[in-house]
A = this chain, B = another copy of it.
Amino acid sequence: MGGDHGTHVTVPAALRFLDDHPDVSIVLVGMPDAIEAELKASHRTVGPRLRIQAATEVVTMDESPQSALKNKKNSSMRVAINMVKAGEAHACVSAGNTGALMATARFVLKTIKGIDRPAIAKMLPTRKNTWTCVLDLGANVDCTPQHLVQFAIMGAMLVSATQQKSRPQVGLLNIGEEEIKGNEVVKEAAELLRQSNLNFYGNVEGNDIYSGVVDVIACDGFTGNVALKTSEGLAKMIAEQLREEFQRNWWSMALAGLAWPVLSRFKKRVDPRRYNGASLLGLNGIVVKSHGGADRMGFYWALKQAVNEASAGVTQRIAEQVQQELALLGAMPVAAAAASDSQIS
C-alpha cells in the first residue's frame, strides 16, 4: 500500500515479477478493494501463486514509528511482517514509511541474537562492475564501535550469501587524509575488526563506495545516509547537465538521436532503479524497503532483492556468523553509554 504511488506501482510490479519467476508466490497485503482494482486493471485474478491478505489500515508516509506501532496494529506492513514471523512468507517488501517499517519489523521479528540494532543496507554499483554493500544507511544515527562491527558482519553475510563470495572484503568508512584518522568510534571499530574473523581490508574513504576496492563498507547511519543522498543528488545533476547539453540546439539534438543506442546503454548502467531495494538486516526475517518514489521497474528490483536474500538464507548466515564472532571477540560488550539509542527504536 505504501510509497508515493501505492498499489498502482506495487501490484503491477508484483504481477510482472510473478511472470518472470515461476518459482515465486506472492501475497499482496493491504486494502482488498485497492488491490482488486489494480488486478482488474491488469486483467488478472488471484490464483495458486497469487493471493490477497487483507489489512484494514495503512501507515501513512509521514506517520511516526511510535504511532504506527501503537495505533496501526492491522496495517498492511504489520500484517505482512506478521506473516514473515509466522513463517507464512519468506520475506516482506514494502515501499512505505521507512521508520515505521523498521520499528514494526524490529518489534515483531526481533533482532538476531548478538545483534543490538538492525541496519539498512544497500548494494551500490562500482567502477569494476561489481557491487559494494553499504550499511548503515540511516537506521542508527549514533553508533558504538561494536555496532559498526555488527554492521560489518551483517554486510559480509549478505554479500557472501547473495553474491557467492566466500570471504567478502570489508572496509570501514573513514576520512583518509593522512593526518586525520577519524573519530574514536571508528578507530576502536577498526581495532575490533582486525581481531575478527572477517576479511577486513581497513579504512576506506567515500570514493571507495564506487571504486570496488571492497565488497562491504560499514559506517554509522548518519554518514551512510548523507553519502547515499549526496550520490543521488550528484547523479541527478550530472544527468540533467548531459541532457541539457544534448538539447542545446538542433545539431546536438540530432546527435542525441543518432547516439541514442549509446546514451541509452549508458543510462541503463547508471539507472538507480536497478539498485532499488534496501535490506533491513539483523532481524529474524527478511524485510526489504523499496524507495518510496520507485516506479514499477524499481519495485520489481526490490522484490528481486528479497527473493535473492530468502533463497540464500541470509538471516541464518548472519545468525551463525554473529555467534562465531561473539565467541571470538568475547561477547563484545556494547558501550551503551557512548551512544544514545536509535531514534526509531
Interfacial residues, chain A to chain B (CB-CB below 8 A): 61-62, 64-65, 97-100, 103, 125-127, 138-139, 141-142, 173, 175-184, 205-211, 219, 221-223, 225-238, 240-242, 245-246, 248, 252, 255-256, 258-259, 261-263, 265-266, 269-270, 340, 343-344
Contacts and interface: CB of A to CB of B under 8 A. Distances in A.
Contacts of A252: 259, 261-262
Nearest to A242: B266
A165 B307 CA distance: 52
Contacts of A173: 226
Contacts of A64: 179
A236 B97 CA distance: 33
Given A227-B230, A228-B206, A237 B127 contact: yes
A65 B179 contact: yes
A236 B208 CA distance: 11
B179 A97 contact: yes
Contacts of A138: 175, 177, 180
Contacts of A62: 178
Contacts of A263: 245
B182 A222 contact: yes
A180 B269 contact: no
A246 B261 CA distance: 10
Contacts of A240: 127
A263 B244 CA distance: 11
Contacts of A235: 234, 238
